[in-house]
Chain A
Amino acid sequence: MINNKIKTGKRLVQTKLGVDPDVCTGDHSCMRYNGCPSLTLKESPSILRDDPIAHIEQSCVGCGLCGEIAHAAVLCPSFYKVEIINNPSLIDRIEAKLNGAFLHFISNDGINS
């Protein structure tokens, strides 16, 4: 159904949540507050961490509850929300190009510190 809407050419925003695997320390406080089945365990990409970390599966519908809970209960900064803009307008595209250029500039500089 979403694919059909995208095909019509209108601007459609899809939301998905995610967890940064290098910021998550694996304390699972988020899972204690939240029973979402998409918020599950995954092995850490770092070999130093033996215990599993949090991970949000593709089945996420983008309700944002996990992020809001981590925010309100002051749990941890690992959550992020991705908004995918399908059929972006011209303004969207210009904004994206500018942001991309700036980020490239500061991150190259940032490594110097």
Chain B
Amino acid sequence: MDKKNELLKILIPAVGGQGGGVLTEWLIQVFLIEGFEVQGVGLPGLSQRGGSTVYYIESYPKVNSEKPIIFSQYPLPGDIDIILAQEFLELGRVLELGYGSDKTTVVSSTHRIYSTLEKLPITRGIYSEENLRKLANAFSDKFIGLNALEIAKQNGLGELAINAILLGALGASGALNIDEASYLKAMSQVGVGVEINIKAFRIGWDYVKSNKYNLSLIESGTKWDEFKKEKLEKLHPDKREELLYLIFEIEQEYPDVLREILAEALFRLADYQDVWYSKKYLDSINKIYRLDRNSEDFMLTEMFAKNLALWMSYEDGIRVAELKINPERFKRIKKEMFLRDNQVFHVTDYLNPDAEEIYGLLPNLFVSPIVKLTETRLFQKIWPRKKKITFPQNPTTSSFIGSLRLWFLTKFKRFRPYSYRFKKEYSLMNKYSQSVERFSRMDYELGCLVAKSGNIIKGYSDVRRRTMDSFNRFVDNIINPLSEFEKKSGNSFDLTIDTGEKSLKLISDSTDGIDKAVELVNKVLKRKAA
């Protein structure tokens, strides 16, 4: 170690509950075995991401003097030799505070534990992993990142083995010039889960020594034919042949990049309703695809295809019932809970459809006039409805009495296209398709934005009504006025696209986002008109 005569400073950030204390203890023992003076300090945090935990170790080779060495208890930004992070965002937090510098070696796990703020937005709100990597590479001399959680899982170890894996990675990295034997001795001395942790340590060590962390994970995508076969098997035998014709059509007409997405969509819709439904979907896609011929990655068609497929297979009572009693579901549950074949288990569902979910299944012809009636003022005076009408139930779907109710519901499938809910969703879906077409003709990127906005339609009952309303207002009160304004004033639609993106973010972040977005647009237009 060319820093033999210098003070060695190690910072260990983690999320609470990851065994950071044990990791620190191991490192301290290693230094003691090697004949160093060492001090470790720990700041505990909360395991619900209320706070990070930080451990800090300082060590110095033993000197023969009468005065004892006094170590610092606080790490200094810019003056850390090793950062050993147990989770990627924690590394980001530590680097943000400036602890990384060009003399720092960073060994970190790249797995994530999501914070509550990341879980809230309706669209993706996860902090970009790419940013964290850039940060780690920029603020260190050497960065070793490995997904310790994945490694643990692949080797049949639990989450708590992550700290041992990271210790092995640190050992093999060469940042500390210490033999493997000292680490193993230290772990035995501390005595916490010795066998498993030594196994994990070796795995981490080998992983870094064999340079595996530098190889990009080449995802072996399932081949096209296997994909088709797998999907066809899950479909009802009557529908298989007809669907194959449609798949053949995709192979002929559409580029390879869109193949899988379109095939998945067709299977999904055929399973949801029928093959004629898939055909209808393909016709809509074709219209948009014709506008997309000249682009490289067909972003417009891709986004439209994904969102339309999800929307056309909206989850009504029939679909939920179908999914809940599917035997594949119970196989999946068994696998997830690591159950053996002979273990007995019960599955109870929490179902609470509201009034609209139930009468939405009935034919539009009867229901529509009744609904219109209930919305009139006269009706609301006669019967003011303060509380929502819902039908809560907790069927035990693994028993035959429980699943009977749901099975009965799936028999309504053939009436779905005539139902009230179908009419309602379809009219908004048409608006979506027409808007995408209209705005794509004006400007390609604007069209992509509108196509992307289809993904804010999510949820059940109130959530769905709210998101559908948000989408409606997004097109009418945000994109429409802005694009009209820009069409008159100039050739580019940059303002529309920019404000549109900001609006989508506002809508996704909070439940009243659409109001804020409309306000923003009004402000922008007022400013521009002035």
Question: Which residues of A does B touch, CB under 8 Å?
Answer: 16, 18, 20, 22-23, 25-29, 31-32, 35, 37, 39-41, 46-52, 67-68, 70-72, 74-77, 79-86, 88, 92-93, 95-96, 98-99, 102-104, 106-107, 110-113
Q: With both chains docked as a complex, state the minimum distance between the C-beta of A82 and any C-beta of chain B, in angstroms.
A: 6
A23-B323, A75-B460 given; name 6 further pairs at CB < 8 Å.
A26-B122, A51-B122, A68-B350, A74-B354, A79-B350, A107-B327
Q: Does the CB pair A40–B114 fall under 8 Å?
A: yes
B388: A residues at CB distance < 8 A: 74
Chain A residues with Cβ below 8 Å from B306 are: 48-50
Contact A76 B400 (CB under 8 A): no
- Find residues 241-270 in chain B having any chain A CB closer than 8 Å to their own CB: 260-261, 264-265, 268
Contact with A along B389-411 (1 / 0, CB 8 A): 01010100111100110010011
Cβ–Cβ < 8 Å partners of B398 in chain A: 99, 103
Complex partner residue of B344 from A23, A28, A93, CB under 8 angstroms: A93
Q: B residues touching A (Cβ–Cβ < 8 Å)?
A: 47-49, 113-114, 116, 118-124, 126, 236, 260-261, 264-265, 268, 306, 309-310, 315, 320, 322-327, 329-330, 333, 336-337, 339, 343-354, 388, 390, 392, 394, 397-400, 403-404, 407, 410-411, 413-414, 455, 458-463, 467
Q: Which residues of B contact A16 (CB under 8 A)?
A: 337
Across the interface, which residues of A come within 8 angstroms of B260, CB to CB? 47
Q: Are A77 and B124 in contact (CB under 8 A)?
A: no
CB proximity of A46 to chain B, nearest CB, Å: 7
What is the CB-to-nearest-CB distance from A113 to chain B, in angstroms, rounded to a whole number? 5
Q: Do the beta carbons of A71 and B352 come within 8 Å of each other?
A: yes
A31 touches B351 (CB 8 A): no
Min CB–CB distance A60 → chain B (angstroms): 10
**Chain A hits for B414, CB < 8 A:** 113
Residue pair A107, B325 in contact (C-beta under 8 Å): yes
Residue of B123, B265, B339 with most partner-chain A CB within 10 A: B123
Give which listed residue, A28, A51, A85, contacts B455 with CB less than 8 A.
A51
Task: Please classify the interface of chain A as helix (H, G, I), strand (E, B), loop, or mixed, using the class held by over half of its residues.
Answer: mixed
Neighbouring B residues of A102 by C-beta, 8 Å: 400, 403
Complex: A26 Cα to B463 Cα, angstroms? 11
B264 in contact with A46 (CB, 8 Å) = yes
Known contacts A71-B350, A113-B413, A50 near B121 by CB under 8 Å? no
**B90: shortest Cβ distance to chain A, in Å?**
15
Question: Can you sample 9 A-B contacts with CB below 8 Å?
Answer: A29-B459, A39-B119, A41-B114, A47-B261, A49-B310, A51-B122, A75-B459, A77-B350, A80-B324
| Given A37-B47, A40-B119, A68-B350: A74 and B462 interface contact (C-beta under 8 Å) | yes
Q: How far is the CA of A86 from the CA of B345 in the complex (A)?
A: 9
**A81: which B residues are within 8 A, CB to CB?**
347-350
B326 near A107: Cβ-Cβ < 8 Å: yes
- Note all chain B residues with C-beta closer than 8 A to A111: 236
Q: Which residue of A lies closest to B47 (CB)?
A: A37
Contacts A37-B48, A74-B390, A107-B327 given: A82-B309 contact, CB under 8 Å? no
Q: Which residues of B contact A26 (CB under 8 A)?
A: 122, 458
With contact pairs A80-B349, A84-B339, A103-B400 given, residues A92 and B344 touching in the complex (Cβ less than 8 Å): yes
Q: Which residue of B lies closest to A35 (CB)?
A: B116
Q: Which residues of A contact B346 (CB under 8 A)?
A: 82-83, 85
Q: How far is the CA of A74 from the CA of B404 in the complex (A)?
A: 22
Is there contact, CB below 8 Å, between A75 and B327?
Answer: no
On whether A84 and B337 interact (CB within 8 A), knowing A25-B460, A48-B261, the answer reads: yes
Inter-chain contacts of A112 with B (CB < 8 A): 236
Closest 4 CB pairs of A and B: A102-B400, A27-B458, A27-B459, A88-B344
Q: Is the CB of A50 within 8 A of B264?
A: no
Chain A proximity of B416: nearest CB distance (Å)? 11
Q: Who on chain B is nearest to A67 by CB?
A: B350
Which residue of chain B is the closest to A37 with respect to CB atoms? B48
Instruction: Report Cα–Cα, A71/B393, bound state, in Å.
Output: 9
| Given A50-B124, A103-B403, A112-B236, CB of A23 within 8 Å of CB of B264 | no
Q: How far is the CB of B70 from chain A (nearest CB, A)?
A: 39
- CB neighbours of B323 from chain A (8 A): 20, 22-23
> Distance in Å from the Cβ of B384 to the closest Cβ of chain A?
20
B48, B124, B410: the one within 8 Å of A35 (CB): B48
Q: In the complex the two chains form, what is the Cα distance from A75 to B465 in whole Å?
A: 12
Kindly list chain A residues whose C-beta atoms are within 8 Å of the C-beta of B114.
Answer: 40-41
Q: Please give, as numbers and ranges, the residues of chain B lying within 8 Å of A71 by CB-CB distance.
A: 350-352, 392, 394
Q: Are A48 and B265 in contact (CB under 8 A)?
A: yes
Name which residue of chain A comes closest to B314, CB basis.
Answer: A25
CB pair B463–A29 under 8 Å, yes or no, is yes
Task: Report yes or no: A31 in contact with B327, Cβ–Cβ below 8 A.
Answer: no
